[in-house]
A and B are shown apart, each in its own frame.
Chain A
């Protein structure tokens, strides 16, 4: 499952993994601002942003193709808007739209792939992001695993009873039934997990087991990211 892989990635020990989550989050924000304000005609800038991300992924010892593949999941959504833009006659803007969304996806994955969930949500909390929003992020992330696991079990059960032999119409009917049951079961399972969390004193906040102090190397890392993004944005 995708988020399992990302969980494993986030447990690495590269120099990027060791940077303070607040520094990485700030760097991501700077990158996203620079990227989103880059004009569509500056195609060399997009190439430079991609190189920057490849260097970072290399430094973090994360598989570049794995990152790109996961970030590509966002493309069907942005491609819809890119196509509409293309039809309206602005092909360069359409291309830039797809590039921006893809590169944003890779950058966000780099953050979550080098920072455990509790780390980057603690960074959000230190930025005074509303607690409720952080809780929603944490629970969605945790329950994705629950839902994916339930879906996989149900799919196996269906395959064991010959669901692959079903006609297309039957397949849709089966999928609709599975989704309904999946929702009910996942709700039940998530409720059980929440009970277990409450039983162990959960008070609406995940406490990080290893809070790291913000060091000079973290400030240096952020400054380097800032300089790199500004240089690309202004010079290319």
Chain B
């Protein structure tokens, strides 16, 4: 299998001097799903913002065999779909349909093709009934589905999910999990939710103060770092 993500020696320092990432080595195989654990502020979100070049640190990043750089940025952003923790940040167009079509239009699809693709993915995530609704009037679960649809509309090879179950009630979490399991893409899942990680991924990486403190089987890692509160 070819590597979807291959990162060596990634370091990043915020402008205020905080060393957020301190030499991260990471890889993800095509079609694989991995969970990122770690305390708040351990560098998980900073790390995933590097995967499509939103943040640029030191070190080397290869996505689907392409080194991340100015020349490949556009292509890489179409291959790595990031679903942000707060769906409200991701939904910025006036209607659900326009929001989901935003990515395909930016990819250069014709308006007709972009809208057709948007309708298809909205149907896939179970939101075909909400095409003309304003995104900010949807429930938290619906917003998350539309946010995922917006990313899927770009036909990515890798899905990055930052705390996908935050703000969701248990039935909505269950539905979302079913949806995510049905998606064939490789997944990087930033989460504190051990149940979600167990259900969705087989491998986990534990972040601590900008470093990888542990890596391996998801169940073994949950036990090793006591990553459950009950």
Q: Contact residues of A with B, CB < 8 Å?
A: 4, 7-8, 10-11, 116-118, 142, 145, 189, 192-193, 195-203, 207-211
Nearest residue, chain B, Cβ from A202? B106
Instruction: Tell me, rounded to whole Å, the shortest Cβ–Cβ distance linking A117 to chain B.
Output: 7
Interface residue? B176 (CB, 8 A) = no
Q: Quick check: B54 and A209 within 8 Å, CB to CB?
A: no
Please give the residue numbers on chain B whose beta carbons come within 8 Å of chain A beta carbons, in ascending order.
Answer: 49, 52, 54, 74, 77-78, 80-82, 84, 86, 89-90, 92, 94-95, 97-98, 101-103, 105-107, 111, 114-115, 132, 134, 136, 150-151, 154
User: Nearest A residue to B118 by beta-carbon distance?
Assistant: A209
Chain B residues with Cβ below 8 Å from A11 are 94-95, 132
Assess whether A201 is in contact with B82, with CB atoms less than 8 Å apart. no
Shortest distance from the beta carbon of A191 to any chain B beta carbon, whole Å: 9
List the B residue with the shortest CB-CB distance to A205.
Answer: B106
Q: Say yes or no: A197 contacts B92, CB within 8 Å.
A: yes
List residues of chain A with CB within 8 A of the CB of B90: 193, 196
B54 adjacent to A210 (CB under 8 Å): no
Q: List 29 A-B contacts (CB under 8 A).
A: A7-B94, A7-B134, A117-B94, A142-B92, A145-B136, A192-B86, A192-B89, A195-B54, A195-B84, A196-B82, A196-B84, A196-B90, A197-B102, A198-B52, A199-B52, A199-B80, A199-B81, A199-B151, A200-B150, A201-B74, A201-B78, A201-B107, A201-B154, A202-B102, A203-B74, A207-B106, A209-B98, A209-B114, A211-B111
Judge whether B103 and A198 touch: CB under 8 Å: no
Most buried by B among A8, A118, A145, A209: A209
How far is B80's CA from A198's CA once the two chains are assembled, in angstroms?
A: 12
